[in-house]
Structure 1
């Protein structure tokens, strides 16, 4: 058995990167489902007046939301790395093409044969077009943020949102939610953030 060529190894790496990215998206979806379960637990705890239990469930919900976003960010980074590898591979192929065309150009210039010069210039133009396409692949990197503990204001905001959605009275038991922001606005903002990362 012979060793794998660098092209096969590169293809395997790209496949593995893309597979890992899809796996991370599935993990993100799972975390979003777990977030919803924790929100429901917080709601039930609020209805029963169990504020401490509601806080724990709200902390878990926020942690799951952050996990989902981090999985999406990491998936995006893997996709960016795969794009960079593809771009590097294309650039390497372009370098090989140029190394073949340049000697032809030198021979055509020495002979001053207009037909050969024209043909070689066509090859150069094709190489430049391919190079433009290859360098057109631009990837952006996202800053991955991870939090170890959930800020209390986020927990209180989530509990306030759950309480207002389900008409549960918890005034005085939670920190005050930001003024002027309704539970619906917070929920819509959260949905938009998650959708942008998909």
Structure 2
């Protein structure tokens, strides 16, 4: 995060200089660099959100999840079937998420190697 902060500070200084000189080429280059850094930040943020989301999903006790589901069902007058465990698995969605995370991991590794 410190690296991102220092990079952004450099870009802002570059923007100030470009705006003072009103050099369109320099302004364009600085804006391109700024946009690239925001894309890098989006990748890093997405990676962290996925990692944190996965960690919290794995640490939530099953009985708390079932209790919450029953509470919501009771509030809305719904009947919660105990056969929900027999529902088909959503493996393809998990595979897509893994592929997306692999792609993000590759982008993050490429950013770190810069």
TM-score bucket (shorter structure): 0.3 to 0.5
Higher-Rg structure is 1
TM-score (normalised: structure 2): 0.47
TM-score (normalised: structure 1): 0.30
* Structure whose residues are more often helix by fraction: 2
